[in-house]
Chains A and B, each alone.
Chain A
Amino acid sequence: MTQTLGDEGVATGDAAPAEAIAPGSTASRGTRVVGLLALAAWGLLLLYGLVISPNDVLQEESVRLFYIHVPGATVGMLAFAFTAFGSAMYLWRRTAFWDLAAGASAEIGVVFLTLGLIAGGLWGEPTWGEYWVWDARGTSSALAVVLYLGYLAVRRIPSAPEVRRKRSAIAGLIVFIDVPIVHFSVEWWNTVHQPATISRLDPTIEGLMLFAYFLGMVAFSLTYWWLVIHRFRVGWLQEQVDERSLSDAIDLRRAESDGSSTEVTS
C-alpha cells in the first residue's frame, strides 16, 4: 500500500524531517499514524454512539447527534483559539511556520464549527420543532464562522509575503477578541428575547453516553490534527508555487529586456 519512501521532502531545517510516503503527496509516517487512529476513533464512535449507547430519557434518539454536535463545535472553537495563538506567535517570532499554522487551523475551524452547527440544528429540531432557534450558543457560533471567513479572506489579499503575514496575524488577534464580545452580547440579547423555553436543554450525560461523547471528542481532535498537518503542508506548497511563479515571471521579463537589446525589434 505504501510506496517506497523517497528522499523527497527531507527537511533541510532543524524541524524533524517528515519524509513523504508517496512521492508528491502531503502524507508522512506521522500523518498515517494519526489518520489511522482517527479512523479507529470514528469507528468506535459510530459503534458506541449509534448502537451501544442508550437513548436519552427526554431526547430519545436525538442525543446521538449530541456526540458529534458538541465535539465538532468545541474542536472548531479550539482551532480558532489556536489560530489566535499562532497569530501571536507569528508576531513574536516572524517565522512563516506560525502564519501557515494559524491559517490552516482557521480553515479547519470554520469547517468543524459549521458541521457542529448543522448537527446542532438536526439535534434540536425534534425537541424544539425548528432547525434554528436563535439560541445564544448557536447564534454566536454562526457569527464566529462568518468572522473567521473574513479572516481567511484577509489572508488572501495579494501583497508582499511579510506584509500579508503581519496583516493576517493582526487580523487573527482582532477577530479572536471579537468572539467573546459578540458571544456575551448575543447571550444578553437572548435573555431579553427568549426567557423561558430555550434554556439549558443539554442532556445530563453519564455512563455509556458519556463514553460516546468522549469518543466524539477524541475522533474530532484526531481528525483535526490529521487535517491541520496536511493543510499546513498544502499552504506551504502554495507559497512555494507562488514564489516560483513570481520569480519565473521576473526572469522572463528580464530575459525579454536583455534580448531586445541585441535583437532588432520591429
Chain B
Amino acid sequence: MFRDALLVLNKDLRVEARSRIALNQILPFALLVLFLFAFALDPSRGVLERATAGLFWLAVLFCVVLGVGRAFALESGDGVIDALRLSGLDPAGLFLGKAGALFVQLVALELVLTLGVVVFYGAALHSVALLLVAGLLATAGLAAAGTLYGALAAGLRVRETLLPLLFLPAVVPVLIGATRAYESALADQSGEGWPWCNLLAVFAAVYVGTGVLAFGPLMEET
C-alpha cells in the first residue's frame, strides 16, 4: 500500500512541477483572496487583525477546493483512471498518494499565505510550535477529506459545484479548530489553542481512515 502511495504521490507532484498550475494559478488566487478580504473588511478599523486567523483558513479552504478539482482533473483525460485501476494499484495507496500530494502542495501554499498575512495584515507570529502542529494536522485533515469528497463528486460536469457543497460543511470542524488554535497562537495565548489540536488530530485520523477504507469500493467500476 505504501509503495503504491509513494508512486502516486511522486507522479502527482511531478505533474505539478512540470505544469506549475498550482504555482501559477492557485497561489495567486490565494493572495488575491487575502486582498479581497481586505477590501471587504476595511483594514483601518482593526477587523482584519482580529480576524486574521479565520481569514487565513478561509483562504486555505478555497484553495483546497481548487486543488482537489485539479487533483482529479489530472486523471479524467483519456481513460487515465481506467489505466490506474487496471494497473493493479492498491486503491488505499492511490488515496494516500493523492492525499499526500495534495498535502504537500497545501503546506507550501500555507507557508506563502503565512508570509502574506504577516506582510499584508501585520500579523505577529508567536507560538510557532502551535502554528506548526495545528497547521499540519489541519492540512492533513483537509487533504484527506478533499481527496475523499473529490472521488465522491465524480463526474466531470458536476464536480465544480458538487464538491464545495459536500466538502465545505464537512470540514467545518477543521475551520473551527484551526482558527481557534491560530487565534490563540497569534495572540500569544497558546495555552488556549493546544486543546483544539486534539479535534484536528481526531478529524485527520477519521478522514485518513475513512479514505483508506472507502477508496476501494469507490474506485470499482467507476
Direct contact of A and B (CB under 8 A): yes
| Chain A residues whose C-beta falls within 8 Å of the C-beta of B148 in the assembled complex | 174
30 sample A-B contacts, Cβ–Cβ < 8 Å, listed by A number: A147-B166, A150-B162, A150-B166, A150-B169, A153-B166, A154-B152, A157-B155, A157-B158, A158-B155, A159-B155, A163-B222, A166-B220, A167-B218, A170-B152, A171-B166, A174-B148, A174-B152, A174-B210, A175-B170, A178-B170, A181-B202, A182-B173, A184-B173, A184-B199, A185-B172, A185-B173, A185-B199, A186-B172, A186-B176, A188-B176
Closest B residue to A153 by beta carbon equals: B162
A177 close to B (CB within 8 Å): yes
A189 within 8 A of B: yes
- At the interface, yes or no: A44 with Cβ under 8 Å from chain B? no
A65 is an interface residue with CB less than 8 A from chain B? no
Q: Is B177 part of the binding interface, using a Cβ–Cβ cutoff of 8 Å? A: yes
Q: Is the CB of B173 within 8 A of A181?
A: yes
Nearest CB of chain B from residue A192's CB, rounded to whole Å: 7
Which of A163, A170, A178 meets B214, CB within 8 Å? A170
A7 to B199, CA, bound (A): 57
Looking at chain B's contact residues, the main secondary structure is helix
Which one of A146, A162, A174, A185 lies within 8 Å of B165 (CB-CB)? Answer: A146
With beta carbons under 8 angstroms apart, the residue of A149, A170, A182 that contacts B217 is: A170
A34 to chain B, nearest CB (A): 33
A143 within 8 A of partner (CB)? yes
Interface residues of B in 92-144 (CB under 8 A from A): none
**What is the 8 Å Cβ interface bit string for chain A, positions 107-144, against chain B (1 contact, 0 not)?**
00000000000000000000000000000000000010
Q: Which chain A residue has the least Cβ–Cβ distance from B148?
A: A174
A77 to B216, CA, bound (A): 29
Which residues of B in the span 188-208 have a Cβ within 8 Å of any Cβ on A?
A: 199, 202-203, 206
Contacts of A150 in B (CB 8 A): 162, 165-166, 169
Q: How large is the interface on A (under 10, 10 to 19, 20 to 34, 35 or more residues)?
A: 20 to 34
A178 to B154, CA, bound (A): 19
Contact of A163 among B169, B180, B221 (CB under 8 A): B221
Given A158-B155, A170-B152, A189-B180, the answer on whether A146 and B218 have CB atoms closer than 8 Å is no
Select one of A154, A160, A189 contacting B176, CB under 8 A: A189
Measured CB to CB, the closest approach of chain A to B113, in angstroms, equals: 22
Q: Which residue of B lies closest to A160 (CB)?
A: B221
Complex contacts, B199 vs chain A, CB 8 Å: 184-185, 188
Cβ proximity bits A180-197 to B, threshold 8 Å, 1 near / 0 not: 011011101100100000
CB distance from A87 to the nearest CB of B (A): 12
> Contacts A154-B162, A167-B152, A171-B152 given; 12 further ones with Cβ under 8 A?
A157-B154, A157-B158, A157-B162, A158-B155, A163-B221, A166-B218, A170-B217, A181-B206, A185-B176, A185-B177, A189-B176, A189-B180
Q: Tell me the bound Cα distance from A170 to B218 in angstroms.
A: 8
Given A149-B165, A154-B166, A158-B155; A177-B176 close (CB under 8 Å): no
Q: Does B60 contact A (CB under 8 A)?
A: no
Q: Is the CB of B165 within 8 A of A177?
A: no
User: B63 near A: Cβ within 8 Å?
Assistant: no
Q: A163-B221, A181-B203 are in contact. Are A146 and B155 (CB under 8 A)?
A: no
How far apart sit A258 and B46, CA to CA, in the bound complex (Å)?
75
